[in-house]
Amino acid sequence: MTGLVAAERGIGETGLVDALPEFVVVAFAAVTHLADPWFLFALLAVGYWFASEGVAGSPRRAGATAVAAVTCAYAATALGKAWFAVPRPLGAMGPAEVPTWLPALLSGWYEAQVLSDGFGFPSGHATGGATAYLALALLYDRFWTDRARYLAAGTVAVAVAVSRVVIEVHYLVDVLAGLAVGAGTVAVALWLAGDPRVRRSASAAAAAGPTARLNPAPAFLLAAVVSAGALAVAVAGGHTGEVVEAGIGIATGAGGAIGWRFVDGDEPAVPVRVAVPALAVTGGLWVGAYALADSLPVTLVATTAAVVAVVALPALAERVEPSLRGSGEA
């Protein structure tokens, strides 16, 4: 389906970017980390585990729904990239022009940011960033004012999208599509979760607050289904990298749905002394999943286990904490 999106789809943005001072490009190379998958999932996990009722009426339901929304976003990105299969800008292929004034310790980091392989449409960073920050702004509705949250979310999402163009790993159309897909993904995920603002419900659930009865399981399942579609398209097209990404999407969606089955949704924040070892374990599983990407079954098992643990942790902590407290008192 490459004819639907042209391989050469720039509209002159490359020339403008080439005229920017080097320090601006380096700054945007740092900004792009705000939508790295590892950063977004870590940010969302922290919110899910530790948020209080001061930021959302039902912080566990709000946090899990945000995670589910971003999982859907990456599933949509995997499907889009495998479906359209169009390349990134030539600048993303290298060689990288590292500023001579950049310290040696940062040269490798900079080169890793401005070089990227795989397909370019839509932008995964723009999609994931728009989804994550808009979802946070909508779901953590007791934090700041509505205007401040939406302004902050929009600013970060747009900054990330611009960064992908500035460091020349995406065309402008890639990030605009990503922003649009991200906004649409949030609407779909919140509708599936039962958000009364999206469903325009005047029921008791709406009166109790928009996060009171959210159920993220349907959004997690949608992510798994869309990722399965992406896997089929990637396999048919022989796109190995997208096969791995789609497989991880299936595991993440399924793991989220399984993990939520253990959660009531009204659990308190996870104690730090439970969260720290849990983070070490789940982080190790994530690293292992990507390190063993050549073995897809191992990657799927490790990813599923990590996501189940992340989502189920509030319920597990409620069971573990009394015994830890008792052993501490003893």
Q: Residues 44-55: pLDDT tens digits?
A: 999 999 999 999
Average pLDDT, rounded, for the chain: 91
Q: Residue type at 249?
A: G
pLDDT in tens, 225-263: 999 999 999 999 999 889 989 999 999 999 999 999 999
For 201-216, write each residue's pLDDT tens digit.
Answer: 655 455 568 888 999 9
- Which of left, alpha, beta for 254 (phi over 0: left; psi -120 to 50: alpha)? alpha
pLDDT of 330 strictly over 60? no
Residue 13 — very low, low, confident or very high, per pLDDT cuts 50/70/90?
A: very high
Taking 50 as the threshold, does the pLDDT of residue 1 lie above it?
A: no
200: confidence class by pLDDT, cuts 50, 70, 90: confident
Note the pTM of the prediction, 2 decimals. 0.93
Say whether 138 sits in a helix, a strand or coil.
helix
Number of CB atoms found within 10 A of residue 97's CB: 12
The rounded Cα 157 to chain-centroid distance in angstroms is 12
Residue 8 DSSP one-character state: S
Structure tokens belonging to residue 240: 């190995």
DSSP string, 141-186: TTSS-HHHHHHHHHHHHHHHHHHHHHTTSS-HHHHHHHHHHHHHHH
Long-range contacts of residues 317-323, Cβ cutoff 8 Å, at least 24 apart:
317/267, 317/270, 317/271, 317/274, 317/275, 318/267, 318/268, 320/274, 321/271, 321/274
Q: Please give the torsion angle defined by the CA atoms of residues 234, 238, 244 and 247, in that order, rounded to the nearest 10 degrees.
A: 40
Question: What CA–CA distances, in Å, run from 328 to 50, 270, 273, 281?
Answer: 22, 17, 12, 22
